[in-house]
Chains A and B, each alone.
Chain A
Amino acid sequence: MLKRLYSVWLIAQRDWLEATSTKMFWLGALLMPVITLILAVFGMFAASLVGTSVTVGSYYVVDHSNGLGLQIRNEILRTDIVNFLTVVANREPISEDEEILIDTHEAIQTTALPDLVSTFMEYLEHPQPDPTSITGDTLAGRFSIWWENNKDLIVELAPTVSFATYQEILTPNLTEQELISRLKAEKILGYFIIPEGFVNSNENAKFVTENILKQDLANWYERFATRVIQNKKFAESDISRETALWLLQRASFQTSKAVEPSRDSRTSTGSSPSDAGDSTKEVTVWETVGEFAPAVYQYILWFLVFIGATILMTNTVEEKSTKLVEVLLSDLDSVQLMDGKLIGSALTLLTVVGLWIFLISLPILVAASIGVPFLPQVAEFIQSGALNSMFNPLFVVNFVIFFVLGFAFYGYSLSALGSVCSNIREAQMMATPINLVAIVPLILMVPIALDKSGTLPTIMSYIPPFTPFVMMNIVAEVAWTNYLLILVWMTACTLGVRWLAKKIYTKGILLENKPAGIKGLVRLVGGTS
């Protein structure tokens, strides 16, 4: 027995040494985390662009509603003035500032912002008063003249003002034909049609654009239109906006996490959960991230199992084509050879994982030991306990268990397929159905993470090709009895696959031509070939 195990170890050791003794291995293993990091950063950057990016440009409003367009324009203007004045209020004037900015800053200190905005609006709102009637005698008059002539400076000081992004074309009575021409020539982003009776119905209200996927302008304009219409309705109902908003306020629950009650609260009797001030705590973003730790483990598990099983299949085909396997089989049983190669590949993968952990931990440990302050986000991440979730012993231990089972299951399967093929291409073709099956738990990874006790994960956890990956994701939610049952079932299935693989491998590895598909494999198992 020991001699058999020693032979298996020799095979594993040789395969591991050969795989890890190349420059390409180390280069690939070192580059992998770097490439992953770059992709993650790029992905986050791209996602942020998708979420927030806006197209800068002009729009036009065709108003059939008897003045709603004008009111929306004024609401936008009002918001711009509030934004700008808020900026001016919060910044200390500097000596280079124009006098109007200094005066406005002083005015904000003495006058309530809504009042000041209303005063300024009298001069700026549409339809605008005759410019010649505006004098510089008052602050509002001076401000309105300055506002109209210093748009660039305003954008520089308050980048959130609307005209930094969108500008309404004020040319009156443009026909639809002209607007379409401008759209086609990309001179405007789109135009809005406000129908008659828009206050009561959205029917016939349109946003016409060439890029129907780009909705940021429509969403932005809708927000102001909604506010104007709501204000009109509040006024007609004779209720103030504040009252109306209070009436409309949604009920919401703050997602929190139960924490162990302190000793004092445990000894006190009759206290309700609300009395126990420290029995819950607010869930941070990082803690939510920590909840996805099993899904991350599942992804890494899937990745390792498939990379490893594919390498194993490739090695088998190569050894078969060089006829080395014939010499090996004169010294060993086919199952010893398969086991040895499987362990060798597993050791190679664990070397890669160990290297990654080392590469990630090293800078953190070095930084901590020499007292380099962490980035605030990193510090917050460490303090949040998400790290504890990531390295929860339950996940780590089960990762090892399901890696062994999953890798053995798929490794034996792909080795057997590799043994009946004459070249890599044939092997890849034959492995396609297995790969398609195995990708299912990866596709369902997020839905399973969101409903770990659901029917789908429960059923999938009993289907051997899915078991390792699904179980990794839901292991914290599985009852012990089920867990043991699944473990026994998966182990039995893996041993069954090993037995089948041995049957196929023993005969397949010596075949010059691959057997015809499933029928050929069945014949090999049945021993009639």
Chain B
Amino acid sequence: MTNNNSTLSVTFEETRKKFGTLVALDRLSLQIPRGSVYGFIGPNGAGKTTAMRILVGISKPTSGTIKVLDADDVKDVRHLIGYLPEEKGLYKRMRVIDYIVYFGRLNGMRKRDAIAKAKGLLSEFQLADWEKEKCQALSKGMGQKVQLMATLVHDPILMVLDEPFSGLDPVNVEVVRSIILNKVKENSTVILSTHIMEQAESLCDAVVLINKGKAVLEGPIDEIRKGDVVSVDHEGEVSVFDGLQGVVSVKQIGRAATLEVDPECDLQTLLKSICERTKVTQFNANSASLHEIFIREVGGSEATSETTADA
């Protein structure tokens, strides 16, 4: 049964997925609120796609549960979900409008309604002139927009977008961003995965960082970024920061050091302590970017490693 009045859109509870001996998703527990943009971030093969496939009902978890739009079985709410997979394909010989209408009808729309909606979307995406063209005539960017239209045509209240920005030019990235934000204004939920941390940072209300199938970090962006990073230009060695209270880690390239500091750390006291040890030429305090958090949590080498977990 579904209860669309619930404040939660998706709940993962101890969800686990194994492929043979490979654990693609390891006891993932998440609560995704309704009317939010939620980001799945993580390196290649971390398990993002697996989580999304479970979410839309393509895969079944090995153990644990998942509730989508308050339904225990995703099949019951499929028509309320719009899914855009990472690798995108089109029926090349189909006309653009027929392709969009086809997916609308598969989700229970009447043909007449699907045609009307598809025409509206084509105008909105500035592809009205391509309505009767075959999909094979479209450029890559246009093709992706058509796929997104097919995801939106039946007005889903939960959109699951796997790497929605990949392959899009900046103009189309903005088009997709505005569509996502509009959907959220209508109290729809958008779950997306991305490698581009700046996009996740600017678009998502909350994120989960998945690495090796596990949720490493989870929560609202502001909370995740809590904790300061201090940039210090100085004339001493990196050892001058040894033993400073409140400093979690130090990286130094040349004369510029980046200090990760404890959120409770008093920056005035810290500056004073550093000045006592070395000559400081510049001192800047910032919140950590998602990119920095990602690198910190995942590690440089692992961030680009690939496994078959996303299969």
Q: Would you call B102 an interface residue if the criterion is a C-beta within 8 Å of the partner chain's C-beta atoms?
A: yes
A529: B residues at CB distance < 8 A: 19-20
Query: Do B105 and A523 have beta carbons less than 8 Å apart?
Result: no
With a cutoff of 8 Å between Cβ atoms, the chain B residues found around residue A511 in the complex are 311
Contact of A323 among B20, B57, B79, B88 (CB under 8 A): B88
Smallest distance from the beta carbon of A175 to chain B beta carbons, Å? 77
Contact B107 A331 (CB under 8 A): yes
Q: B102: which A residues are within 8 A, CB to CB?
A: 10, 14
Q: What 0/1 readout, one digit per residue, does chain B (256-294) give for beta carbons within 8 Å of chain A?
A: 000000000000000000000000000000000000000
Q: Does A7 contact B (CB under 8 A)?
A: yes
Which of B90-98, B165-173, B188-196 is the contact stretch?
Answer: B90-98
| B56, CB-defined interface residue at 8 Å | yes
Provide the residues of chain A in CB contact with B304, threshold 8 Å: none
Interchain CB contact under 8 A, B75 and A523: no
- How many Å lie between the Cα of A512 and that of B45 in the bound state? 13
Give complex CA distance A330, B311 in Å: 16
Residues of B within 8 A of A528 (CB): 20
Q: Does A201 contact B (CB under 8 A)?
A: no
Are B87 and A323 touching (Cβ within 8 A)?
A: yes
Min CB–CB distance B105 → chain A (angstroms): 6
- Minimum C-beta distance from B156 to chain A (A): 10
Decide yes or no whether A173 CB sits under 8 A from chain B: no
Within 8 Å by CB of A322, from B58, B89, B107, B150, lies: B89
Does any Cβ of A come within 8 Å of B4's Cβ?
no
Q: Is the CB of A523 within 8 A of B20?
A: yes
Q: Verify if A21 is at the interface (C-beta below 8 Å from B).
A: yes
Contact A3 B308 (CB under 8 A): no
**Contact in complex: B59, A510 (CB < 8 Å):** yes
Asked if A103 is an interface residue, CB under 8 A from chain B, the answer is no
Contact among B19, B20, B85, B93 with A326 in the assembled complex (CB-CB below 8 Å): B85
B81–A330 CB distance below 8 A: yes
**Residue numbers in A under 8 Å from B103 (CB-CB):** 327, 331
User: How far, in angstroms, from A513 to B108 measured CA to CA in the complex?
Assistant: 33
Check if B106 is an interface residue, CB within 8 A of chain A. yes
- Which chain B residues numbered 63 to 106 have a C-beta less than 8 Å away from chain A? 75, 78-79, 81, 83-85, 87-91, 93-94, 102-103, 105-106
Once the chains are docked, how many angstroms separate the CA of A3 from the CA of B108?
8
Does B311 lie within 8 Å of A512, measured CB to CB? yes
Q: CA separation between A323 and B79, bound complex, in Å?
A: 20
Tell me, rounded to whole Å, the shortest Cβ–Cβ distance linking A493 to chain B: 27
- B-contacting residues, A324-374, CB 8 Å: 324, 326-333
Tell me if A324 and B105 are in contact (CB < 8 A).
no
**Least CB distance, A422 to chain B, in whole angstroms:** 11
- For this complex, into which size category does the number of interface residues on chain A fall? 20 to 34
Is A18 at the interface (CB under 8 A from chain B)?
Answer: yes
In contact, A510 and B53 (Cβ under 8 angstroms): yes
The residue on A at minimum CB distance from B75 is A333
**Residue of B56, B81, B89, B105 ringed by the most chain A CB atoms within 10 A:** B89
What are the interface flags for B297-311 relative to A under an 8 Å C-beta threshold, 1 for contact and 0 otherwise? Answer: 000000000001001
Q: How far is the CB of B264 from chain A (nearest CB, A)?
A: 45
A330 touches B78 (CB 8 A): yes
Smallest CB-CB separation from B86: which chain A residue? A323
Docked CA distance A523–B19 (Å): 10
Q: Are A330's CB and B58's CB within 8 A? A: yes
Q: Is A22 interfacial (CB-CB < 8 Å)? A: yes
Q: Are A331 and B106 in contact (CB under 8 A)?
A: yes
CA distance A422 to B49 in the complex (A): 19
Contact B90 A510, beta carbon cutoff 8 Å: no
**Are B78's CB and A331's CB within 8 A?**
yes
Closest to A340 in B: B106
Inter-chain contacts of B160 with A (CB < 8 A)? 330
* Given the contacts A333-B75, A512-B311, A523-B20, A10 and B90 also touching, CB distance less than 8 Å: no
The interface residues of chain A lying within 8 Å CB-to-CB of B108 are 3
Q: Chain A residues near B107 (CB, 8 Å)?
A: 331
Residues from chain B with Cβ under 8 Å of A332 in the complex: 106
Residues in A456-513 with C-beta less than 8 Å from chain B: 510-513
- Min CB distance A340 to B, Å, is 10
Residues of A within 8 A of B311 (CB): 510-513
Known: A330-B83, A333-B75. A18 touches B58 (CB 8 A): no
> Across the two chains, which residue of chain B brings its CB closest to A22?
B93
Q: A322 to chain B: which residues have CB within 8 Å?
A: 89-90
**B85 CB contact (under 8 Å) in A7, A323, A512:** A323
**Residues on B with beta carbons closer than 8 Å to the beta carbon of A21:** 93
Are B91 and A18 closer than 8 Å at their CB atoms? yes
Cα A512 to Cα B59 in complex, Å, equals 14
Cβ of B64 to closest chain A Cβ, rounded Å: 16
Taking CB atoms, residues of chain A closer than 8 Å to B81 are 330
Q: Which B residue sits closest to A520, measured CB to CB?
A: B20
Task: State the CA gap A512–B310 with chains docked (Å).
Answer: 9
CA gap between A22 and B136 in the complex, in Å: 14
Q: A18-B93, A511-B311 given as contacts; is B85 within 8 A of A327 (CB)?
A: yes
- Taken together as a complex, chains A and B put the C-alpha atoms of A324 and B93 apart, in Å, by 13
Q: Which residues of A contact B151 (CB under 8 A)?
A: 327
Out of A11, A330, A513, name the residue touching B57 (CB < 8 Å): A330
What's the Cα separation between A329 and B160 when bound, in Å? Answer: 14
Q: B85: nearest residue on chain A (CB-CB)?
A: A326
A512 surroundings in chain B (CB, below 8 A): 308, 311
Whether B53 lies near A327 (C-beta < 8 A) is no
Residues of B within 8 Å of A329, CB to CB, are 57-58
**Would you list which residues of chain A between 309 and 331 have a CB under 8 Å from chain B?**
319, 322-324, 326-331
Measured CB to CB, the closest approach of chain A to B1, in angstroms, equals 17
**What separation, in Å, do the CA atoms of A328 and B56 have in the docked complex?**
11
**Are B20 and A327 interface neighbours, CB within 8 A?**
no
Asked if A327 and B105 make an inter-chain contact with CB atoms under 8 angstroms apart, the answer reads: no
**With contact pairs A10-B102, A510-B311, A528-B20 given, residues A326 and B91 touching in the complex (Cβ less than 8 Å):** no
What's the Cα separation between A327 and B102 when bound, in Å?
Answer: 12
Nearest-CB distance from B236 to chain A (Å)?
51
* Bound complex: CA A529 to CA B308 (Å): 13
Assess whether B90 is in contact with A324, with CB atoms less than 8 Å apart: yes
Smallest distance from the beta carbon of B207 to chain A beta carbons, Å? 22
Q: How far is the CA of A511 from the CA of B24 in the complex (A)?
A: 13
Most buried by A among B58, B81, B108, B308: B58
Contacting residues, chain A, for B75 (C-beta < 8 A): 333
How near does chain B come to A318, taking the closest CB pair, in angstroms? 9
**With the chains together, A3 CA to B160 CA distance in Å?**
23
* Chain A 387-401 residues near chain B, CB threshold 8 A: none
**B1-26: contact bitstring with A at CB < 8 Å (1 yes, 0 no)?**
00000000000000000011000000
Q: Are A10 and B106 in contact (CB under 8 A)?
A: yes
Chain B residues, CB < 8 A from A319? 89
Tell me the minimal C-beta distance from A282 to chain B in angstroms.
57
Q: Which A residues, 279 to 335, have Cβ-Cβ distances below 8 Å to chain B?
A: 319, 322-324, 326-333
Q: A326-B53, A326-B85, A327-B84 are in contact. List 11 more A-B contacts (CB 8 A).
A: A7-B106, A14-B102, A323-B85, A327-B103, A327-B150, A330-B56, A331-B103, A332-B106, A510-B59, A511-B311, A513-B308
17 pairs from A and B in contact (CB 8 Å cutoff): A18-B91, A18-B93, A322-B90, A323-B85, A324-B90, A324-B91, A327-B89, A327-B103, A328-B106, A329-B57, A330-B56, A330-B160, A331-B78, A510-B59, A513-B311, A523-B20, A529-B20
Residues in chain B within 8 A of chain A (CB atoms) = 19-20, 53, 56-59, 75, 78-79, 81, 83-85, 87-91, 93-94, 102-103, 105-108, 147, 150-151, 160, 308, 311
Minimum-distance CB pairs A-B, first 3: A322-B89, A330-B83, A323-B87
